[in-house]
């Protein structure tokens, strides 16, 4: 398994500002992902964070809006840029441990409210 | 395109009752299926992972089954407790490496 720490756990932000969410894992993992969960909805994959290279974004998500970094095997950041109320969601970091059984593990999430 | 459906969307049961949550998927060519629970405003906790070659997995009072041919999985919770109250999500990996599709979840309330 993997223990995942996400910061901040919640924040209230003003329209037009940007916020960076951090994800720290207690052990090396093969893959890290960022998901969004809008109110009352299920999870949608934003991107796969690739170590040392640009993230792989899913359809509908772009790097300018959601820049992602992954400088090493245990840490990643997601920035939500130029926020609008529609960005109010829970953002979740997920990892695939090196055991690679296919089992995903999630952080506690970052609840973001944009006014 | 894989679609994952969970029925019912919400369920309320008295404490002690055995219950079944359902998960259906449209593309049977899956790698695995995973069940999670999510407490309000929190992240996801992994409950059980079933590989495509397996029929079921058990952990404590939880038992998950998988029938790929019919595109169904069930999560059986025995002797439900108020602490089981949460939203339960199933997620299917298919259509490419680490391509995971989540269901919309079943919100469970166990009444003391």
Question: Is A79 in contact with A73 (CB distance < 8 Å)?
Answer: no
Across the interface, whether the CB atoms of B46 and A33 are under 8 A apart is answered: no
- The per-residue pLDDT for range A15-74, each reduced to its tens digit, is 999 999 999 999 988 889 999 999 888 899 999 998 888 899 999 999 999 999 999 999
Interface of B with A (CB under 8 A): 31-32, 34, 36, 41-46, 49, 51, 89, 91, 93, 98, 100, 102-105
- The per-residue pLDDT for range B7-43, each reduced to its tens digit, is 999 999 999 999 999 999 999 999 999 999 999 888 8
| Residue linked to tokens 């506690």 | A108
Nearest C-alpha neighbor of A78 from the set A104, A57, A99:
A57
Nearest C-alpha neighbor of B46 from the set A39, A107, A66:
A107
Alpha-carbon distance B32 to A76, whole Å? 26
Instruction: Provide the pLDDT for residue B97.
Output: 65
Across the interface, whether the CB atoms of B44 and A90 are under 8 A apart is answered: no
B96 has pLDDT over 80: no
Per-residue b/e over B55-76, b at no fewer than 16 CB within 10 Å?
A: eebeeeebbbbbebeebebbbe
Q: How confident is the model at residue A12 (pLDDT cuts 50, 70, 90)?
A: very high
């Amino acid at each position: 398994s993997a223990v995942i720490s996400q910061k901040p756990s919640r924040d209230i932000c003003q329209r037009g500002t940007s916020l960076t969410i951090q994800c720290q894992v207690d052990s090396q993992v093969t893959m890290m992902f960022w998901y969004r969960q809008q109110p009352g909805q299920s999870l949608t994959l934003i991107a796969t964070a690739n170590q040392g290279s640009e993230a792989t974004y899913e359809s509908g998500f772009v790097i300018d809006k959601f820049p992602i970094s992954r400088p090493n095997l245990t840490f990643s950041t997601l920035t939500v840029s130029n926020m609008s109320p529609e960005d109010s969601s829970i953002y979740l970091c997920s990892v695939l441990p090196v055991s690679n059984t296919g089992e995903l593990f999630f952080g506690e999430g970052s609840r973001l409210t944009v006014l | 395109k894989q679609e994952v459906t969970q029925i019912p969307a919400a369920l309320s049961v008295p404490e002690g009752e055995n219950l079944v949550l359902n998960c259906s998927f449209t593309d049977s060519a899956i790698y695995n299926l995973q069940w999670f629970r999510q407490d309000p405003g929190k992240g996801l906790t992994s409950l059980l992972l079933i590989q495509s070659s397996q029929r079921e997995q058990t952990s404590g009072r939880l038992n998950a089954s998988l029938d790929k041919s019919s595109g169904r999985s069930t999560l059986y919770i025995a002797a439900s407790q108020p602490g089981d109250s949460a939203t339960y999500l199933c997620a299917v990996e298919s259509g490419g490496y680490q391509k995971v599709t989540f269901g919309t979840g079943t919100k469970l309330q166990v009444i003391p």
